[in-house]
Amino acid sequence: MTERYTASELLAVMSARLLSDGQVVFAGVGVPLLAATLAQRLHGPGLTILFEGGVIGPFVVPGELPPSTNEQRCTRRANMVLPITDVLLLLQRGYVDIGFMGGAQIDRYGNLNSSYIGDPANPKIRLPGTGGGNDISSLTQMIVTMRHEKRRFVERVDFITSPGFIEGGTSRAESGLPTGGMFKVVTDLAILGFTETGREMVVEALHTGVSIDQVRDNTGFEIQVGELETTEPPSARELAVLRELDPDRLYIA
């Protein structure tokens, strides 16, 4: 019988499976941090994690997950601790394989908003802003993880904090970003990719028990559908390691 798991646990496990040994991953706080650490424990001992606070190659202690990538627990057994500007320079020099973060809104071309919701002159909601998000999405292949809700998957984001494929097609390169782009979007319903030419979001795999109609009903635009696969549910091993890392359920509640 399949073990029960939360939506956040599903996001962490499915995201971790996308990471490979030997990669350099620039991870944001929350599920991205947890998923990168999980991948390191399970199948990627040579995976190097970077944090925006300037940390390269940290060892995150199980049960002591940092609430922020600028927190001192991020530095334990790290290979290096640099100024923030220097760690961002590694992005510009092409040393980072994968950028990994979340967002409040995403559109069909993978543009992310983490700045505000509503009228910029009088927004309904003010969000944390870019941090290093724009740098990361501009210069790496991106994995984004977020809950699949119509209010998050919108026709057009209220503000492009972190660029995806801009307007689709070749618009990203024409905007001055010849490298990088969106790789995968992992949600609690599906795994999404992007078409080769139009660079529009496409459903590639559904999680166990999820229908394509559920995905469509929770997406605020007409989403394309590829040759659908079904993901394997989180294994007992994956869940055990995940819960050891986060026993207080800081990120996997």
- Tokens read off for 205: 């795999």
pLDDT for the residue 210: 97
Q: Is the pLDDT of residue 6 over 90?
A: yes
Q: Is the pLDDT of residue 104 over 60?
A: yes
- Tokens read off for 91: 């992005």
Which residues does the annotation mark as catalytic? 52
**Mind listing the pLDDT tens digit for each residue in 79-97?**
999 988 898 899 999 999 9
CA distance 167 to 60: 38
pLDDT cut 90: percent of the chain above it: 76
> 215: phi > 0 → left, psi -120 to 50 → alpha, else beta; which?
alpha
CA distance 52 to 87: 7
- Provide the mean pLDDT of the chain: 93
Q: Do residues 38 and 8 lie in contact, with contact meaning Cβ atoms separated by under 8 Å?
A: no
pLDDT for the residue 112: 97
> Which residue has better confidence, 76 or 228?
228
Q: Do residues 91 and 136 lie in contact, with contact meaning Cβ atoms separated by under 8 Å?
A: yes
Neighbours of 178 (CB within 10 A): 10
Of 24-28, 66-70, 114-118, 122-126, which range is least confident? 66-70
**Per-residue confidence at 131, pLDDT binned at 50, 70, 90?**
confident
Q: Is the pLDDT of residue 3 over 80?
A: no
**What is the CATH number that goes with domain 7-245?**
3.40.1080.10
Mean pLDDT to the nearest integer, 96-104: 92
**Mind listing the pLDDT tens digit for each residue in 154-181?**
999 999 999 999 999 999 999 999 999 9
